[in-house]
């Protein structure tokens, strides 16, 4: 594998892709949204159980490429247990990471592995699909598209 | 497998873009179904136009305009020859295949269709041969019905026969599928449509670059081309139509060059083809198109078809040998297009890995969402071949896929 590919497909990304976390349905969810990437046809669903402003549980279902699955899986770990406000902050940080390639200084979280996506503009929407879907669910919008 | 005498070196020498590298590697351009590269003679033809006789057409008495008009009209004659149309005026220049289909939907179908009428399209159509029909259906109360396809990616002709009735007014089918390469039996499908009194429109966007075309033999009422896929500049398409049908149609766009006389008490429209070419057309593009078609006809389209097909089938064999790969679309009649999916890697990931090997393919739904749904896949990876591809391109593809397998296990 050449270095460029190694940056994009880091081990953490591949392992989340192979064994995504918090995958499946959430029967007692009280918020959800469906995300769609018209560019590639990928669809993703995010289910949440929010109680007293806290994201108690989250599940993701359906996925596409390695980047979108890994990003979704890491996202669930990054926001689970956080308050809705904190989740919005994580969203903003992630957005800056992949759009601007700008990592938080003290960021040693797995999410930083997705910084490589910044070098592949056509893949940015793959990485952000789950996140936009999460935000739509938090804001009670049922559907979101990366168009 | 040894590939029969095709002047590949001479052909490749005519495509300057092939000299460039991508990510430090030789470019293997296998996204020809999206758009083809341009030979030097087309680039020079366009350049020569702008440098020497750039002028508007059909309106100047001066020398430059006359020269430009002549080249533009000559290109129409070349298109006639390319399609084996009866007359050059049956070949209308559009801005692309998409515009040609919309023109037929709006200028032919819209005034004629009514509630209860049916438009048949196949499940493997490009969105551009679905959506214009949905729009006209909404405007008229007609319905669009999809003709099913088989697991191998062929049109289910029995189902098609069963769907044909007096209600069917238009049948719109793709000649060669851009997603899976199927060559449809358009001649018999057109005849079947005619038998119930329907007209048939054939989307030739992918047939243009790969196959000899004879619109009279197919007996298509309308036939469209997308010229940037046939080695010509972007922004040009062709709509061929039967003379009586075209003459019976109102204009699609209004403007200059499409009228005979204009007054506020009434305007009379020009004859075909001008009636459908309102405004200043893509003069440079059309002139470039004429040169591109001469290039392709000079190579001999049967020979081109055979050459591209050998490469595509070789790619299919080599990819299948790697294991874990499934070819999508196994029609008996197939052109130089190979669509595939891998067990563990999504087409987008395949595309990114291949790009780092200098291999350009398309990953996605190829504007054929109903087809993807039919096969229950979100997307495919697609390699599509052109006259300048060779065995090295197939090898680069296979090498990239091997690397993809290493990454994704
Ligand atoms: C089968 C088919 N039909 C129609 C089109 C639309 O052509 P254009 O975008 O050039 O108008 C394409 C192009 O991708 C195609 O492959």
Whether residues B348 and A18 touch (CB distance < 8 A) is answered with no
Tell me the C-alpha to C-alpha distance, in Å, between residue A82 and each of A15, A28, A49, A85, A91: 24, 18, 12, 8, 12
Tokens of B241: 């139509």
Residues B395 and B399: their CA atoms lie apart, in Å, by: 6
pLDDT surpasses 90 at B7: yes
Q: Which of A84-98, A105-119, B143-157, B314-328 has the lowest mean pLDDT?
A: A105-119
Listing DSSP states for B36-50 in one string gives ----HHHHHHHHHII
Q: What is the pLDDT of residue B239?
A: 98
Q: What is the pLDDT of residue B1?
A: 47
Whether residues A42 and B378 touch (CB distance < 8 A) is answered with yes
CA-B100 nearest atom, ligand 1: 11
Question: For residue range B227-258, what is the model confidence (pLDDT) as tens digits?
Answer: 999 999 999 999 999 999 999 999 998 888 78
Tokens of B289: 């198109």
Any idea which fold B43-297 has?
3.40.640
Listing DSSP states for B244-267 in one string gives HHHHTSPPSS-STTSEEE--TT--
Q: How many CB pairs under 8 A join A and B?
A: 53
Whether residues A1 and B406 touch (CB distance < 8 A) is answered with yes
Q: For residue A51, how far is its CA from the centre of ligand 1 (angstroms)?
A: 50
- Integer Rg of chain A from CA: 14
Residues B102 and A71: their CA atoms lie apart, in Å, by: 40
Preferred mutation among A15, A38, A66, A117 to probe B, highest tally of B CBs within 10 A: A66
Please state whether beta strands A42-51 and A54-61 pair in parallel, antiparallel, or not at all (unpaired): antiparallel
Residues B336 and A139: their CA atoms lie apart, in Å, by: 47
Please state whether beta strands B28-29 and B359-360 pair in parallel, antiparallel, or not at all (unpaired): parallel
Query: What CATH number has the domain spanning B8-30+300-408?
Result: 3.90.1150.10
pLDDT surpasses 70 at B326: yes
Question: For residue range B354-385, what is the model confidence (pLDDT) as tens digits?
Answer: 999 999 999 988 888 899 889 988 889 999 99
Q: For residue A98, how far is its CA from the centre of ligand 1 (angstroms)?
A: 32
pLDDT surpasses 50 at B147: yes
Whether residues B356 and A5 touch (CB distance < 8 A) is answered with yes
Residue A54's CB: how many other CB atoms inside 10 A? Answer: 15
Residues B125 and B367: their CA atoms lie apart, in Å, by: 8
Q: Could you say which DSSP state residue A123 is in?
A: G
Shortest distance between the Cα of A84 and any Cα of chain B, in A, equals 32
Three-state secondary structure call for residue B122:
strand
Three-state secondary structure call for residue B173:
strand
> How many angstroms from the chain centroid is the CA of residue A109?
14
Residues B2 and B176: their CA atoms lie apart, in Å, by: 26
Nearest Cα to Cα of residue A144 among A68, A34, A13, A23: A34
Q: Which residue of A has its CA nearest to B400?
A: A1
Shortest distance between the Cα of B347 and any Cα of chain A, in A, equals 7
Q: What is the pLDDT of residue B59?
A: 76
CB within 8 Å of A106: residues ≥ 6 apart: none
Q: What is the pLDDT of residue B108?
A: 98
| Residues of B that are catalytic | 367
**CA angle in degrees (0–180, nearest 5) for A117-A120-A126:** 60
| Structural domain boundaries, residue A72 | 3-145
Domain boundaries, chain B: 8-30+300-408, 43-297
Q: What is the pTM of this model?
A: 0.92
CA-B203 nearest atom, ligand 1: 3
Question: For residue range B274-286, what is the model confidence (pLDDT) as tens digits?
Answer: 999 999 999 999 9
CB within 8 Å of A89: residues ≥ 6 apart: none
Whether residues A18 and B409 touch (CB distance < 8 A) is answered with yes
Omega before B263 cis (within 30°)?
A: no
Residues A79 and A72: their CA atoms lie apart, in Å, by: 11
Nearest Cα to Cα of residue A39 among B342, B151, B346: B346
In chain A, what residues touch B342 (CB-CB under 8 Å)?
Answer: none
Q: Could you say which DSSP state residue B177 is in?
A: -
pLDDT surpasses 80 at B31: yes
Question: Residue of the nearest CA to atom 15 in ligand 1?
Answer: B205
Q: What DSSP element (H or E) covers B320?
A: helix B301-322
Shortest distance between the Cα of A80 and any Cα of chain B, in A, equals 27
Say how many Å lie between the first and final Cα of chain B, rounded. Answer: 29
Measure CB to CB from residue A41 to each of B23, B365, B409 and give the nearest one: B365
Q: What is the pLDDT of residue A62?
A: 85
In chain A, what residues touch B368 (CB-CB under 8 Å)?
Answer: none
Tell me the C-alpha to C-alpha distance, in Å, between residue B190 and each of B144, B173, B185, B248: 17, 9, 9, 20
Report residue B199's pLDDT band, with 50, 70 and 90 as the boundaries: very high
Q: Which of B91-105, B178-192, B343-357 has the lowest mean pLDDT?
A: B343-357
pLDDT surpasses 50 at B123: yes
Q: What is the pLDDT of residue A105?
A: 61
Q: What percent of chain B has pLDDT over 70?
A: 99
Q: What is the pLDDT of residue B3?
A: 47
**CA angle in degrees (0–180, nearest 5) for B125-B130-B132:** 145
Nearest Cα to Cα of residue A17 among A75, A70, A77: A70
Does the CB atom of residue B203 touch ligand 1 within 6 A? yes
Report residue B296's pLDDT band, with 50, 70 and 90 as the boundaries: very high
Residue that has been written with the tokens 């508007």 in this structure: B56
Question: Residue of the nearest CA to atom 7 in ligand 1?
Answer: B97
Q: For residue A102, how far is its CA from the centre of ligand 1 (angstroms)?
A: 39
Nearest Cα to Cα of residue A69 among B341, B325, B348: B348
Residues B135 and B70: their CA atoms lie apart, in Å, by: 37
Crossing angle between the packed helical segments A66-79 and A84-100, to the nearest 10 degrees: 150
In chain A, what residues touch B23 (CB-CB under 8 Å)?
Answer: 4
Tokens of A147: 């168009």
Q: What is the pLDDT of residue B235?
A: 97
Q: What percent of chain B has pLDDT over 90?
A: 88
Please state the domain count of chain A: 1
Q: Could you say which DSSP state residue B16 is in?
A: G
Residue B158's CB: how many other CB atoms inside 10 A? Answer: 10
Q: What is the pLDDT of residue B13?
A: 98
3-state helix, strand and coil shares in percent for chain B, rounded to the nearest 5? 45, 20, 35
Tell me the C-alpha to C-alpha distance, in Å, between residue A132 and each of A23, B309, B311: 17, 43, 42
Does the CB atom of residue B384 touch ligand 1 within 6 A? no
Does the CB atom of residue B128 touch ligand 1 within 6 A? yes
Q: What is the mean pLDDT of chain B?
A: 95
pLDDT surpasses 60 at B4: no
Residue A109's CB: how many other CB atoms inside 10 A? Answer: 17
Give the CATH number, domain containing residue A64. 3.90.1010.10
**CA angle in degrees (0–180, nearest 5) for B45-B50-B53:** 95
In chain A, what residues touch B352 (CB-CB under 8 Å)?
Answer: 5, 8, 120, 123
Question: Residue of the nearest CA to atom 9 in ligand 1?
Answer: B98
Going from the first residue of chain A to its last (147 residues), give the mean pLDDT of each consecutive group of 10, the final group possibly shorter. Answer: 81 92 93 86 90 95 88 95 94 90 70 87 90 92 74
Residue B332's CB: how many other CB atoms inside 10 A? Answer: 8
Q: What is the pLDDT of residue A1?
A: 67
């Amino acid at each position: 594998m050449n270095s460029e590919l190694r940056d994009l497909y880091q081990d953490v990304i591949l392992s989340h892709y192979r064994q995504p976390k918090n995958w499946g349905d959430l029967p007692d969810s009280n918020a959800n949204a469906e995300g769609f990437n018209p560019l590639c046809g990928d669809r993703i669903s995010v289910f949440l159980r929010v109680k007293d402003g806290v994201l108690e549980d989250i599940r993701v279902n359906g996925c596409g490429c390695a980047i979108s699955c890994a990003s979704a899986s890491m996202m669930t770990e990054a926001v689970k247990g956080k308050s809705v406000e904190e989740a919005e902050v994580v969203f903003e940080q992630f957005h800056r990471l992949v759009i601007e390639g700008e990592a938080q200084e003290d960021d040693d979280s797995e999410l930083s592995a997705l910084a490589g996506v910044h070098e592949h503009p056509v893949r940015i929407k793959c990485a952000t699909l789950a996140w936009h879907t999460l935000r739509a669910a938090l804001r009670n919008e049922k559907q979101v598209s990366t168009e | 497998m040894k590939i029969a005498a095709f002047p590949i070196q001479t052909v490749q020498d005519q495509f300057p873009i092939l000299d460039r590298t991508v990510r430090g590697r030789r470019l293997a351009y296998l996204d020809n179904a999206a758009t083809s590269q341009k030979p030097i003679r087309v680039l020079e033809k366009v350049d020569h136009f702008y440098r020497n006789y750039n002028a508007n057409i059909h309106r100047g008495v001066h020398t430059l305009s006359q020269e430009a008009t002549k080249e533009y009209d000559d290109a129409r004659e070349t298109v006639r020859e390319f399609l084996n149309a009866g007359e050059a005026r049956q070949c209308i220049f559009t801005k692309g295949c998409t515009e040609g289909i919309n023109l037929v939907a709006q200028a032919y179908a819209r005034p004629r269709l009514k509630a209860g009428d049916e438009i048949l399209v196949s499940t493997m159509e490009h969105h551009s041969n679905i959506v214009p029909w949905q729009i006209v259906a909404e405007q008229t109360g007609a319905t669009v019905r999809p003709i099913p396809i088989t697991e191998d990616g062929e049109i289910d002709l029995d189902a098609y026969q069963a769907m044909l009735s007096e209600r069917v007014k238009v049948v719109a089918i793709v000649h060669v599928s851009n997603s899976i390469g199927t060559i449809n039996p358009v001649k018999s499908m057109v005849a079947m449509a005619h038998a119930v009194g329907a007209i048939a429109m054939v989307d030739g966007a992918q047939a243009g670059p790969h196959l000899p075309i004879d619109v009279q033999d197919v007996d298509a009422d309308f036939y469209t081309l997308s010229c940037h896929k046939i080695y010509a500049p972007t922004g040009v398409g062709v709509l061929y139509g039967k003379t009586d049908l075209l003459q019976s149609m109102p204009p699609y766009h209004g403007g200059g060059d499409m009228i005979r006389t204009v007054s506020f008490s009434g305007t009379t429209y020009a004859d075909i083809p001008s009636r459908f070419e309102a405004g200043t057309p893509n003069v440079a593009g059309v002139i470039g198109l004429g040169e591109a078609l001469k290039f392709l006809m000079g190579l001999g389209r049967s020979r081109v078809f055979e050459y591209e097909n050998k490469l595509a089938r070789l790619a299919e064999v080599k990819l299948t040998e790697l294991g874990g790969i499934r070819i999508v679309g196994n029609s008996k009649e197939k052109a130089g297009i190979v669509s595939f999916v891998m067990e563990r890697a999504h087409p987008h990931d395949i595309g990114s890995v291949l790009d780092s090997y200098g291999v350009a393919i398309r990953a996605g739904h190829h504007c054929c969402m109903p087809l993807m749904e039919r096969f229950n896949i979100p997307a495919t990876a697609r390699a599509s071949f052109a006259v300048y591809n060779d065995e090295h391109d197939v090898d680069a593809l296979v090498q990239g896929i091997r690397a993809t397998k290493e990454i994704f296990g």
